[in-house]
């Protein structure tokens, strides 16, 4: 039987998992749901790539921690449980956007979303299918570019924005579409 060699963008890496560590990320490991509590730097030996980590039963104590070791051949047995970005509520997006700004121009905030963007804007839209104009846009998140954008209304802190997405276990890296994660919904 021939082994399928996955391209690098179709592999779960330590870079995908580590931002979620402070927020009690749950993973499915060999068919069981565990809490990922630590990762070590990846290393290579005998042409095999390894990621070592620490997992425990959900709600378990430190004494109930177990080691996990993932290789290129076993990495598919570990999948994080993530929330699709499309499942975040308007309230969650509004909270996230407002948390990232030092000054907000209006209290009349609304969320506009489509398959490409989520936009926090102020004021009214005549047609809810119409994207808000730049003059009404306060900030936005672009799914395809995984990027926050602010406007001249305030300074926007992207680090806070991404940390909030990690806290929500949102699928920032598109792992669900690649089959590398399991949806929480």
pLDDT digits (tens, 9 = 90+) for 5-55: 444 456 778 888 889 989 989 988 878 888 888 887 776 776 666 667 777
Same domain, yes or no: 125 and 156: yes
Confidence of residue 3 (pLDDT cuts 50, 70, 90): very low
| 72 and 108 share one domain | no
Q: Where are the alpha helices (DSSP H) in the chain?
A: 14-17, 90-99, 158-167
Helix (H) or strand (E) run with residue 101 in it: none
Please state at what angle helix 90-99 crosses helix 158-167, rounded to 10 degrees: 140
**Minimum mean pLDDT among 53-62, 97-106, 123-132: which range?**
123-132
Would you put residue 174 in left (φ > 0), alpha (ψ -120 to 50) or beta? Answer: left
15 and 68 in a single domain? The answer is yes
CA distance 177 to 157: 27
> Pick from 50, 81, 112: which residue ends a domain?
81
Q: What is the pLDDT of residue 143?
A: 86
Question: pLDDT-derived band of residue 167, with 50, 70 and 90 as boundaries?
Answer: very high
Residue 50 pairs with which residues in a beta bridge?
A: 43, 71
CA 77, 80, 81, 82 torsion: positive or negative? negative
Is residue 123 in a domain? yes
Determine the average pLDDT of the residues in 121-146: 75
In a domain, 176, yes or no: no
> Residue holding tokens 């990232």?
100
For residues 36 and 75, membership in a common domain is answered with yes
Question: Are residues 168 and 80 in contact, defined by beta-carbon separation less than 8 angstroms?
Answer: no
- With respect to residue 173, please indicate whether it lies within any of the assigned structural domains: no
Tell me what the mean pLDDT of segment 122-132 comes to: 68
If asked whether residues 61 and 89 sit together in one domain, one would say: no
d(CA 162, CA 54): 24
The model's pTM: 0.79
Residues 31 and 92 grouped into a single domain:
no
pLDDT value at residue 49: 64
- Provide the pLDDT for residue 7: 46
The answer to whether residues 76 and 90 belong to one domain is: no
Print the domain residue range for 73.
8-81
Overall number of domains in the chain: 2
**∠ CA 114-117-122, rounded to 5°:** 90
What confidence score (pLDDT) does residue 148 get?
83
Concatenated DSSP letters of 59-110: T--GGGEEEEEEETTTGGGEEEEEB-GGGS-HHHHHHHHHHTBS--S-S-EE
Residue 112 lies in a domain: yes
Backbone angles phi, psi at 104, to 5 degrees: -120, 130
Residue 174 lies in a domain: no
In this structure, are 12 and 53 located in the same domain?
yes
Task: Round the average pLDDT of the chain to a whole number and report it.
Answer: 79
Q: What is the pLDDT of residue 169?
A: 96
- Same structural domain, 24 and 38: yes
For residues 65 and 90, state if they share a domain.
no
- Residues 76 and 100 both lie in one domain: no
The pLDDT value given to residue 162: 93
Residue 1 lies in a domain: no
Which tops the pLDDT comparison, 83 or 102?
83
């Amino acid at each position: 039987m021939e082994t399928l060699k996955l391209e690098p963008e179709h592999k779960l890496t330590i870079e995908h998992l580590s931002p979620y560590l402070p927020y009690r990320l749950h993973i499915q490991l060999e068919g069981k749901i565990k809490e990922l509590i630590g990762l070590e730097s990846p290393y290579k030996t005998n042409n095999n790539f390894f990621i070592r980590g620490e997992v425990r039963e959900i709600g378990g104590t430190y004494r109930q921690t177990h080691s996990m070791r993932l290789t290129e051949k076993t990495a598919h047995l570990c999948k994080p449980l993530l929330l699709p970005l499309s499942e975040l509520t308007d309230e969650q997006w509004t909270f996230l956007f407002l948390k990232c700004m030092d000054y907000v121009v209006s209290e009349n905030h609304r969320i506009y979303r489509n398959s490409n963007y989520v936009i926090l804007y102020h004021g009214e839209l005549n047609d809810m299918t119409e994207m808000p104009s730049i003059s009404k846009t306060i900030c936005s998140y672009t799914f395809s570019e995984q990027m926050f954008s602010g406007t001249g209304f305030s300074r926007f802190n992207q680090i806070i924005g991404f940390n909030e997405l990690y806290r929500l276990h949102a699928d920032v890296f598109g792992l669900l579409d690649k089959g590398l994660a399991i949806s929480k919904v």
